[in-house]
Structure 1
Amino acid sequence: MNVSLTFEVLLYLNSYYFGLFAVCELGMNAVKYINFDNLHHFSTDFGVLLSICFIEILRVILARRGNLTEKKWPVILGILLTIPSVLGVVYLMIWQSEILRFEYIICAMQLGFCIAEIVTGVLCLFSCCQTPDYY
């Protein structure tokens, strides 16, 4: 099994899933702002969501470009950018002021994608860093 192909498929699926995730999160934040009166940290929650959007877009672009060109530094940066993305999703999943059940489910799915991409990204790095054997 080609690890680079698995990593590329996960990045491709995550690029579409993250678009859905971001739209749903923005919609749920709008609903929370309208319906809940005592949101203590709404600006913090919204700022975390916007930063996750920026980091995730940058991460997917870097990792896909590095994977397709088989260069290790963009893949390493993509894996390192997964850490703040995971922390932001955990914030939205656990520490946000008001958490909806649907929000918890989509955050758990996003975490699953991120963990799978970390594992396959590290395995992809091992295959990219090997010296080719010429016979």
Structure 2
Amino acid sequence: MGSNCKINTSLTFEVLLYLNSYYFGLFAICEIGMNIVKYINFSDELGHFPTDFGVLISLCILEIFRIIIARRGNLTEKNLLIILAVLLTIPSVVGVLYLMIWQSEVLRFEYIICAIQLGLCLIEIVTGILCLFPCCKTPEYY
């Protein structure tokens, strides 16, 4: 006798997107603030500051766009928008990895908030892909 316990992946995906929309706002404010402080305090040592700041601003624009598309696709159950959002998560993950590892000067707090953002993105990829499978859809009762 098998268990008939199903997870509502659409709801899980929506909760993660909702959480990430608020967390990313906090993440972006902290990252921009830390980049400004690093520029003021370490201006002689930061030769790659324009690149680092450019990656951060690009990541902010991409992540806002991705969250909007993912939420719209999830709420309207349009698989094409969910696929696009999952694909846009890949450059977002690369941007977070850049800020976490390859940036010229990485602070410990920056490493922690990047790790949390990376974890949210990876869980969103998994739940976004699960939303696409018909076996994970919630049944509709009429």
1:60 paired to 2:59 = no
| CA distance in 1: counterparts of 2:56 and 2:121, whole angstroms | 16
The aligned residue for residue 82 of structure 2 is 75
The two structures have a TM-score, normalised by structure 2, of 0.89
Which stretches in structure 1 are left out of the alignment for 5+ residues? none
Which digits, 9 at most, give the CA deviation of each residue in 1:30-67, with x for residues without a partner? 00000002101000000000000010001000000000
> Is the CA contact 2:9–2:136 (under 8 Å) kept in the aligned structure 1?
no
The aligned residue for residue 92 of structure 1 is 99
Which digits, 9 at most, give the CA deviation of each residue in 1:70-92, with x for residues without a partner? 01011011000000000000000
| CA distance in 2: counterparts of 1:123 and 1:90, whole angstroms | 24
The aligned residue for residue 27 of structure 2 is 21
1:50 paired to 2:57 = yes
Which stretches in structure 2 are left out of the alignment for 5+ residues? 1-6
1:2 paired to 2:2 = no
Q: How many residue pairs align between the two structures?
A: 134
- Runs of 4+ with >4 A deviation: 132-135
Query: How far is 1:127 from its partner?
Result: 3.3
Amino acid at match of 2:110: E
**Identical pairs, percent:** 76
| CA distance in 2: counterparts of 1:94 and 1:29, whole angstroms | 15
| Rg comparison, structure with higher value | 2
* Aligned residues: CA RMSD: 1.9
